Structure 1
Amino acid sequence: MKTFMNKILSRRLLLILTLLATIFFSFVTFELNVLPLKYYIPMVVILLLFALLLYFIEKDKNDNHPIKVAFFKLVNIILAVALVFGSLSILKGSDFLASITNGGVQSVEIDVAVLKSSSYDKLASLKGKSFGANTSMGALDINKSETIIEDEIGDIKVTSYKTNNEVINALKNHEIEAMIVKEVELDSLNDIEKDFTDQIRIIKKIQIKKPRINANSAKVTKEPFHILISGTDKSGPIDTFALSDVNMIATINPTTKQVLLTSIPRDYFVDIVGMDGVSGKDKLTHSAKGGMNCTMDTIENFMGIDFNYYAKFNFTSFINVVDALGGITVKVPKYRVIGRDDGVFVTKKGHYTIKPGVNHFNAKQALSFVRERKAFVEGDAIRGKNQMLMLKAILKKCCSASIITKMDKVFESLSSSFETNMSAQEIKSLINMQIDDMASWDVQTYHLDGDASKRTSQLATVGDVTKFNKDGVFITLPDQQSIDKAKEYIQLVMKNEIVKVEED
């Protein structure tokens, strides 16, 4: 038995195993472009020399130093195992980058809805019945869903309406038995008819695929570029159209090592650009009804910029990265809280008490923190600031040395909740640049202001909203001075100048 173990643990065999592990690790890091060449070559040389050094140290013909030999053999085994696991982790990281980059095909979810009071419980029960839809916007998607329905139950009659209000009235008055509507539209129907979504039942969901959004590629390690960061609370696949609760312009300058995050209120009342059949003003969040490209076009229009990329995330699942990182520490400012003078507020979701100063959050607490708005005098403006605080804290922890032991959990938490049309190679180039210069980055934040007390009777993607409330719905009227200031900051970053955002 001892002779067998000696053969298994012979220094020659251990050398072969370590060399194979080193070759595998070197191949993986080279092929996947994980390290800059000036670090890669010395690393490979050091690993090979170390493997040879262990081989000679383990030499003990007369068995005079068994403890020393056993120790260095153990080091040899640990090195080989570490190299193999390191290679597998790098491969997993590369697979993760491949899964979230280059932008996937977008998906529009179309619902077939009936009144809850009806007896219809599945699509087949609507055979021979009348359907209705608002075809004034997104008519092509409605037509595609009509074809899919007919493939399942035969020919159907779909009455076209010009507004969502007309469709709702037709359904409630039994002029039609079912309505065809985009899933992303459902929340807006409650602005027309109080709690309308509680009065209907979805009996069929249809997925319509849309083309991917190509990047306006930049030399990401040499020139400044813009990314639209868009976040939604909708559960489900990240590629599905959903209203955006978070909209930020990330202006990144790799030369000056500065990032400017410009947050835009979700209810900003702006001209909607790039949506089929829609013109006029609406809440920025409703631009997502036309997909990510519509939100990008809309923001580009009033901010006077051109986006290079987008990064989309589902905040509900993305925030799980907080637990993967072992929690997040955020310094919370003292806000003006409704009914209190000390700045302490309780979140509506989870009923967590949050005090001004340093707070440590787990995922549930973090999500409640970034969702809260009704506790504050400034409402949605503060929610936007808290979202930026949380993103900054997550980025800071992701850039710390402690991330190495948590990468697997971080990848798992992000894989189904994050998507970008940056290429994996562009992201690797940024990582290589950071490893190469080890520079610290300065992150500045700015929040666009507006008057959130204003109301409107018309929304471009919804229509008349005075049926539910004669005064209309609340919007945030943009403050042009704030927009101009944001443009000034953005231009300075793009011109390689260092920006220091003035405190409010």
Structure 2
Amino acid sequence: MKNNKREQVILKVLLCACAITIGTLLVVLLRHMMSISILPVLHCVVIVLLILLLFGAGGYFLLHKKTAYRVLGILLIVLSIVGNIEGIYFYLDSEEALKTIANQTTEITSYGVYVLKDSEAESIADLENEIVGVSEDISDKKLAKKLDKYSIITSTYDSPMSSVEGLINEECAGAVLNTSYVEMLEEKDNLRLVNEIKVSKKVEASNVISSEKPFVVYISGKDTWGHISVTSRSDVNIIAVVNPGTKHILLVSTPRDYYVPLSISNGVKDKLTHSGIYGIEVSEATMEMLYGIKMDHYFKLNYSGFEGLIDAMGGITVWSDYAFDVENIGHFKKGDNELSGLEALAFVRERHSFARGDVQRGVNQMNVIQSVVQKLTSKAILKNYGEILRKCDGTFATDLSSEEIADLVSFQLSNPGEWNIEKISVGGTGEYNNVYSLKKSVYVMDPNQDDIDNAKARIQEVLDEI
């Protein structure tokens, strides 16, 4: 009898210790649940109730006289504790993953100090007391401060091309140019880099969005490999109009060669792709001018980032309107194609195989975005999205906050099902004309105003849907 009483006392003490443990763990779990809304409220309530139910049942069986019931009680209590710990780990893992990809508002511009190929200068120090050309569109205070460290005489030119011409005509001994800009120049073989100066800049925060109202995201694809924060030309320019209320996404593709005024060019027209050289804010603002809308956020990635993103998702299935081949990659059939990151990159870059060239490339890019959205909103991905986000670290940059991303994930979990994804492209007429960035005639696409007007009307219709 005494032994039974002693056992009951020991079991009650053990139960109290477990109750304190589970209570402490629940407090930690609830704090994480309230700090970031990754899971819908209903999911959170169910998880907490399930943990309490397991612990309650475990406590009941633990105090039972029969050994088998006590063993069952211990197992249920352990299960409730393990489940609680798993929940905390899920939130910690998700929060850490969100931190790595959200609020990436730092942009790096790489400037080079260039001299003529046959110049004796080996570094910027060799240009002491010499004239160095700087374009007036380079108004970066950080760059100016770094240049002030050297004993050079800066001369302002009205454009990057003018400073290049000044260098070639020996009006100046050197020129400060955006390294991405130099890649476009026919004269680049006559230039030599003697110094590289990297300048970081914070991109201003955009509007705060929620899953309760429509929003617009600008998607920019850079034509480079390497780190996504470095500025370069924007070869992919797609607007995603998202209406969560109707689960409708409208994708609008704009050709890279579109002949439009940039937000910084004072009305002078340029290729749309060149806007990326001047930073994501210029690309965003230029698209806003073209379509008469306000972008809420941006999403940008480059070649390596795109390939990494697709591979992190385990590949995608993409529809192709045409059968075509890409050298060293393989054959793409008309219909669905199972693609790896490398294959998907080749798919979205190809344009020479199509009569519509860049316009069809834009269609293919939207097909890939559709496949990515469909896969990312699937239950299998959403249940492991923390792991997916970690794998995607460094593959893209966005100014979406961690709270906004979590809200969108929570919305999809609460409202499962496919999104209606609509795709439209704008076109135009190919021609040769002078552009702002190069001050010379190059191939451009003069916009079809009817296409622009139709796109603007459709964008507004999707935003106004109820």
Paired residue for 1:216?
207
Distance 1:205 1:169 in 2: 20
- Say if 2:203 and 2:281, in contact at 8 Å, map to a contact too: no
Partner residue of 1:455 out of 425, 432, 437 = 432
Distance 1:165 1:24 in 2: 59
- Say if 2:51 and 2:83, in contact at 8 Å, map to a contact too: no
- Say if 1:107 and 1:240, in contact at 8 Å, map to a contact too: yes
- Say if 2:52 and 2:80, in contact at 8 Å, map to a contact too: no
1:315-330 equivalences in 2 (<5 Å): 315-330=303-318
- Say if 1:132 and 1:159, in contact at 8 Å, map to a contact too: yes
By how many angstroms is 1:156 displaced? 0.7
Partner residue of 2:403 out of 413, 420, 425 = 425
By how many angstroms is 1:267 displaced? 0.9
Let me know the Cα RMSD of the aligned residues. Answer: 3.0
- The alignment of Structure 1 onto Structure 2 pairs a total of residues equal to 455
1:146–1:255 distance in 2 versus 1, CA, 3 Å:
closer
Deviations 1:284-333 (A, max 9, x none): 11122332222222222221222222222334213312222211111222
Paired residue for 2:273?
285
Deviations 1:443-473 (A, max 9, x none): 111111223x3222x1012202xxxxxxx42
Distance 1:79 1:321 in 2: 36
SS at match of 2:32: helix
Paired residue for 1:28?
32
1:328-477 equivalences in 2 (<5 Å): 328-334=316-322, 343=323, 345-348=324-327, 350-404=328-382, 406-451=384-429, 453-456=430-433, 458-464=434-440, 472-477=441-446
Paired residue for 1:203?
194
By how many angstroms is 1:264 displaced? 0.8
Distance 1:310 1:189 in 2: 28
- Say if 2:98 and 2:389, in contact at 8 Å, map to a contact too: no
1:42–1:78 distance in 2 versus 1, CA, 3 Å:
closer
1:237–1:429 distance in 2 versus 1, CA, 3 Å:
same
Paired residue for 1:40?
44
1:482–1:166 distance in 2 versus 1, CA, 3 Å:
closer
SS at match of 2:132: strand
By how many angstroms is 1:111 displaced? 1.3
- Say if 2:161 and 2:437, in contact at 8 Å, map to a contact too: no
SS at match of 1:463: coil
Paired residue for 1:502?
none
By how many angstroms is 1:496 displaced? 0.8
Paired residue for 1:112?
113
1:162-177 equivalences in 2 (<5 Å): 162-172=158-168, 174-177=170-173
Paired residue for 1:122?
123
By how many angstroms is 1:404 displaced? 4.7
Partner residue of 2:447 out of 478, 481, 491 = 478
Distance 2:330 2:384 in 1: 27
- Say if 2:377 and 2:418, in contact at 8 Å, map to a contact too: no
Distance 2:33 2:384 in 1: 19
1:79–1:328 distance in 2 versus 1, CA, 3 Å:
farther
Q: What letter is aligned with 1:215?
A: S
Distance 1:376 1:171 in 2: 40
- Say if 1:324 and 1:413, in contact at 8 Å, map to a contact too: yes
Aligned-pair identity in percent equals 28
Report whether the alignment pairs 1:132 with 2:111: no
By how many angstroms is 1:211 displaced? 4.4
Partner residue of 1:302 out of 285, 290, 293 = 290
1:328–1:77 distance in 2 versus 1, CA, 3 Å:
farther
Distance 2:129 2:176 in 1: 15
Distance 1:200 1:120 in 2: 12
1:184-199 equivalences in 2 (<5 Å): 184-190=180-186, 193=187, 196=188, 198-199=189-190
- Say if 1:317 and 1:413, in contact at 8 Å, map to a contact too: no
**Larger displacement relative to structure 2 (53-62 or 370-379):** 53-62
1:51-130 equivalences in 2 (<5 Å): 51-57=55-61, 61=65, 63=67, 65=68, 73=74, 77=78, 80-102=81-103, 104-130=105-131
Distance 1:238 1:49 in 2: 47
Paired residue for 2:457?
488
Paired residue for 1:157?
153
Paired residue for 2:257?
267
Report whether the alignment pairs 1:234 with 2:224: yes
- Say if 1:164 and 1:189, in contact at 8 Å, map to a contact too: no
Distance 1:332 1:490 in 2: 25
TM-score (norm 1): 0.80
SS at match of 1:461: coil
Distance 1:260 1:280 in 2: 30
By how many angstroms is 1:102 displaced? 4.2
Paired residue for 2:4?
none
By how many angstroms is 1:99 displaced? 4.3
Deviations 1:312-356 (A, max 9, x none): 23342133122222111112222xxxxxxxx2x2224x4322111
Distance 1:473 1:71 in 2: 78
Report whether the alignment pairs 1:247 with 2:243: no
Distance 2:176 2:36 in 1: 46
- Say if 1:24 and 1:84, in contact at 8 Å, map to a contact too: no
**Larger displacement relative to structure 2 (221-230 or 99-108):** 99-108
By how many angstroms is 1:15 displaced? 5.9
Query: Can you give the 5+ residue segments of structure 1 that lack an aligned partner in the other structure?
Result: 1-5, 335-342, 465-471, 498-504
1:170–1:270 distance in 2 versus 1, CA, 3 Å:
closer
1:325–1:407 distance in 2 versus 1, CA, 3 Å:
same
Partner residue of 2:176 out of 167, 180, 198 = 180
1:408–1:426 distance in 2 versus 1, CA, 3 Å:
closer
1:382–1:179 distance in 2 versus 1, CA, 3 Å:
same
